[in-house]
Amino acid sequence: MLIGTRPKSTMNKIVVLWLGAVFIGACTSASEIPMAPIKVEVVATDAGFQLLRGGKPYVIRGAGMGGNDIENFAANGGNSIRTWTTKSESIDTLELLDDALANGVTVALCLSMQAERWGFDYNDDAAVARQLDEFREEVLKYRDHPALLFWIIGNELNHSYTNPSVYDAVGDVAEMIHELDPNHPTTTTIAGIREDAIHDIETRAPGLDFISFQLYGELYALRDRIRELNFRRPFMVTEWGAIGYWEVDKTSWGAPVEATSSEKAAVFMRGQREVLDALVGQLLGSYVFVWGQKQERTPTWFGMFTEDGKMTEVVDVMKYLWTGAWPKNRSPHVLSLTIGGHSARSSVTYVPGEKFEASADIVDPDGDALSYRWELKPESDATQVGGDFEERIASLGGHIESAETASTLVSAPEPGAYRLFVYAFDGNGHAAHANIPFNVSNGTDQLIAGEIMAVSYSGYRSGQHPDRGNGAANPSDAEILEDLALLLNYDLKLIRLYDSGENSHATLRLIREHKLPIKVLLGIWLKAEVSNHLGCPWLNEPIPDDELSANALLNAEEVRRGTELAEEYGDIVVAVNVGNEALVDWNDHMVPVDKVITYVRQVKAAIEQPVTVADNYEWWIRDGATLAAEVDFVGVHTYPVWEGKSIEDGLSYTVENVERVRTALPGSKLAILEAGWATRATEFGDRANEAAQARYFVELSEWARSRNITVFFFAAFDEPWKGDANNPGGAEKHWGLFNVDRTPKQVLMPDPS
């Protein structure tokens, strides 16, 4: 069958490679060249499934390609590309196939099937029939081209789908293709490894020759998922590569942390060697994503090239994996990118106009001189899924002092979320890139893990307590899980732990093991290193010197445990607090401020997360300037009810305290790490009650939301182990949102109005 007329520029290349046929004379018309398909099939062998092309095993060295860079792709060792449509406005599919053939490359053509998320109704029989007719024309147009490898019917149709009839339509398309084109297999792609989608495909589209998965971070669970689902059919991975923006750590305001181009190169190497190479016999082939550049949340997230067409280290890795040889000239390598000395995971916030240094450490393995480009962009607000089109985000001008050096000064723009990019170029067609998100706020508030209202949590029940010198009586795993489930029921997803001991470790472990959507402000508890018997009302005698010396050693050990937990549970621990009310002049566990600063510096040097110190607002106002300069944000405690205030003055007094701290510590970021209202207290009389607590919680949360500041309400549960054992009505025991038996108090009850 004849297929169209080709431009003469491609004709001679086609003639040289055309299935061994001999064509004489450059005057031969391209339209007269007959097309002969090469049969492709999936066969079962003793070693498993195998893809054959022309009767011979065909090993795919593949990439997704949205444009036409066939010659460069082949020069780097690739031999097969996949597309996402046959009806591109910018790429002629026939020309793409011809160029592929001329360079020894095959093409998996995708029929761009309408997705339910785009508004297509698969219960509309007429619309489904029209789509089938359109695809019939496309199949007839390309079925005999020798570069064609297989057909992809729709891309990630399971994204946000509710109507499984989409896979009835996929089955109809597969049946139509098999009737018209017996030479090429059919597949459809799904996002992830989803049991429901696999079931729908296998029952509604049984004529497909294989299923294709598209995986990013989930690639590393592929083998386990196949075993769990007892999936025995052949399959391909038609998209894989950089870890997805939906799978990575996020800043406190929700911006995903993107890997550098060098970190991505390591991910590609690992994905091929550790996962895909181990699946031979069931895996028919794979295609990395994406040979080119694509705007998806950022302009660099998935592209193996930069916007201006420069190859990154990922291309180097794929050439090595495809050919066994590295490029003669290698891409630059990113060692680090920081702003103000902080990495991307530090959730850095500035005020408008504040200047900070941005510094990139990038090296070139060949010793090439590097040139640089910095760009500042607003954070993407895109919500598209499945790779749907996103508009390019324009860069902002006027905020970068020197855009062509390895380090530069940046001036924070108006309030909002931003991302700073750096590119390094070697002058030989290669580039490296990295970016770092940061936030700009009008105030100096700190939003932790994107949460407004959080809660302090210890979990000790009746008869349980921390170590009082004779060992701890800790909650069981089952009791901790019950508590965490209760908190999640009330949308409390950020908790504060006060130490780094066994109970806190168990809480972190259970959050991870059960994949709970809870983040943690981890505590490092500091014991007394000086005796405050003259200032503390209940410390009647001096603390012996040998006990103080022993405490200093215990504090050093606690700092070590805290930093290790923060590193081990870096996906859960979003900030670390060093010392709790260890500085205020009435406490019984005082530590000198210079020693607290030493501990803060040790913790900051060891972990990525923000570090703070929690103490009463009065101490911060009077003595906090030196320490405030060391911490990432100031942690304030404020309790109006302790200071004789009625509920009518509760919020106004809290706000007054916070604003006084702001005035005393201008430029410091701030979060409220304790604020609450007791529901029973012999010390407070009738000012302590559940109605007052409920009002304070509501008013405080509304104010916090208006200021975009995190408040840890004290506390999750009543704690009978605290205070005077002979006074069951003491205030220390009754700050919980829940009673000690885990029944909710009025604050958590539905509003009767």
- Predicted confidence (pLDDT) per residue in 235-267, tens digit: 999 999 999 999 998 876 779 999 999 999 999
Residue 463: alpha-carbon gap to chain centroid: 41
121 vs 18, residue with greater confidence? 121
702-708 average pLDDT score:
80
Q: Is the pLDDT of residue 730 over 50?
A: yes
**Residue 10 pLDDT exceeds 60:** no
pLDDT in tens, 388-434: 999 999 999 999 999 899 999 999 999 889 999 999 999 999 999 99
Residue 125 has pLDDT above 80, yes or no: yes
Q: What is the pLDDT of residue 33?
A: 47
Q: Is the dihedral of CA 205, 206, 209, 210 positive or negative?
A: positive
Contact status, residue 429 vs residue 310, Cβ threshold 8 Å:
yes
- Is 70 exceeded by the pLDDT of residue 15? no
Q: pLDDT tens-digit profile of 265-294?
A: 999 999 999 999 999 999 999 999 999 999
Residue 17 has pLDDT above 60, yes or no: no
Instruction: Tell me the average pLDDT across 724-751.
Output: 94
In the predicted structure, residue 180 carries a pLDDT above the cut 90: yes
> pLDDT confidence of 28, banded at 50, 70, 90?
very low
pLDDT score recorded for residue 19: 29
Interval 149-164 mean pLDDT:
96
> Sorting pLDDT into bands at 50, 70 and 90, what band is 127?
very high
Has residue 13 got a pLDDT over 80?
A: no
Q: Render pLDDT for 317-344 as a digit per residue (tens, 0 to 9).
A: 999 999 999 999 999 999 999 998 888 8
Q: Residue 30 pLDDT > 70, yes or no?
A: no
Evaluate if residue 743 carries a pLDDT over 50. yes
Q: State the average pLDDT for the chain.
A: 92
pLDDT for position 663 = 86
Q: What are the backbone angles phi and psi of residue 725, rounded to the nearest 5°?
A: -65, -20
Beta bridge partners of 421: 375, 435
CA–CA distance, 183 with 467 (Å, rounded to integer): 73
Given a cut of 60, is residue 37 above it in pLDDT? Answer: yes
Taking a C-beta distance cutoff of 8 angstroms, is the pair 546, 522 a contact? Answer: no
Q: What is the pLDDT of residues 576-635, one digit of tens each?
A: 999 999 999 999 999 999 999 999 999 999 999 999 999 999 999 999 999 999 999 999
Instruction: Kindly state the tokens that stand for 287.
Output: 């295609």
CATH class, 38-323 region: alpha beta
Question: What is the pLDDT at residue 443?
Answer: 58
Percent of the chain with pLDDT over 70: 94
Q: What's the whole-number mean pLDDT along residues 165-178?
A: 98
pLDDT at 52 over 80: yes
Confidence of residue 535 (pLDDT cuts 50, 70, 90): very high
The pLDDT value recorded for residue 662 is 87
pLDDT digits (tens, 9 = 90+) for 352-393: 888 999 999 999 999 999 999 999 999 999 999 888 999 999
**The two three-digit tokens of residue 346, written as one number:** 């530090």
- 307 and 299 Cβ atoms separated by less than 8 Å: yes
- Looking only at Cα atoms, what is the longest distance across the chain? 108
pLDDT surpasses 80 at 31: no
Which residue do the tokens 């919500």 mark?
Answer: 383
CA–CA distance, 535 with 300 (Å, rounded to integer): 58
Domain boundaries, the chain: 38-323, 333-440, 454-464+472-748
The CATH class that applies to domain 333-440 reads mainly beta
Q: What CA–CA distance (Å, rounded) separates 504 from 580?
A: 15
How confident is the model at residue 667, as a pLDDT?
A: 82
- At 474-501, the pLDDT tens digits run 999 999 999 999 999 999 999 999 999 9
Q: Do 38-323 and 454-464+472-748 show the same overall fold?
A: yes
Name the band, by pLDDT with cuts 50, 70 and 90, for residue 509. Answer: very high
Burial class (CB in 10 A: 0-12, 13-18, 19+), 526: buried
Two tokens at 187? 């597949």
Q: Cα separations (Å) of 720 from 394, 640, 733? A: 57, 22, 5
Using one digit for the tens of pLDDT, what is the confidence trace for 627-648? 999 999 999 999 999 999 999 9
- Predicted confidence (pLDDT) at residue 23 exceeds the cutoff of 50: no
Return the pLDDT at 18: 29
Residue 5 clears pLDDT 60, i.e. is over it:
no
| pLDDT (mean) for 446-455 | 88
Position 21 scores a pLDDT of: 31
Query: Does the N-terminal peptide bond of residue 290 adopt cis geometry, omega within 30 degrees of 0?
Result: yes
Residue 212, helix vs strand vs coil = strand
Is residue 684 over pLDDT 80?
A: yes
Question: What fold, for 454-464+472-748?
Answer: TIM Barrel (3.20.20)
Least confident range of 15-19, 456-460, 730-734: 15-19
Where b means 16+ CB within 10 Å and e means fewer, 62-85 reads: bbbbbbbbbebbbebbbbbbbbbb
